[in-house]
């Protein structure tokens, strides 16, 4: 299988996001691949992606990207803990 050993971002479900970003394009590699400037928290992820895996982004001043990179585990899972119980 060509995807054996490839790490995926989170668990896929009907309502789960399947895209993270935006990230800046660092350089073009060949005809159809790009190297992205990933944050240090994603240093274990290969930084070259095929153009079919990328999406265009149009800047909008109200778009604010904030990701809990400090909560991403080495196996690409995200662990979230409740802050408080509001009602029983």
Q: What gap in Å lies between CA 81 and CA 74, rounded to an integer?
A: 17
Q: What gap in Å lies between CA 73 and CA 75, rounded to an integer?
A: 5
| Whether pTM exceeds 0.85 | no
pLDDT at 45: 83
Alpha-helical runs (H) found in the chain: none
Contacts of 25 (CB under 8 A, 6+ apart): 34, 35, 36, 37
pLDDT at 3: 62
pLDDT at 7: 60
pLDDT, block means (10 residues), the chain with 88 residues: 60 66 88 90 86 84 66 68 77
**DSSP reduced 3-state for 26:** strand
């Amino acid at each position: 299988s060509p995807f054996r050993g490839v790490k995926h971002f989170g668990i896929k479900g009907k309502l789960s996001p399947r895209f993270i970003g935006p990230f800046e394009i660092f350089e073009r590699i060949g005809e159809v691949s790009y190297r992205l400037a990933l944050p240090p928290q994603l240093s274990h992820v290969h930084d070259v992606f095929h153009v079919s895996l990328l999406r265009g982004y149009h800047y909008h001043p109200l778009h604010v990207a904030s990701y809990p990179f400090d909560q991403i585990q080495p196996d690409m899972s995200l662990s979230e803990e409740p802050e408080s119980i509001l009602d029983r």
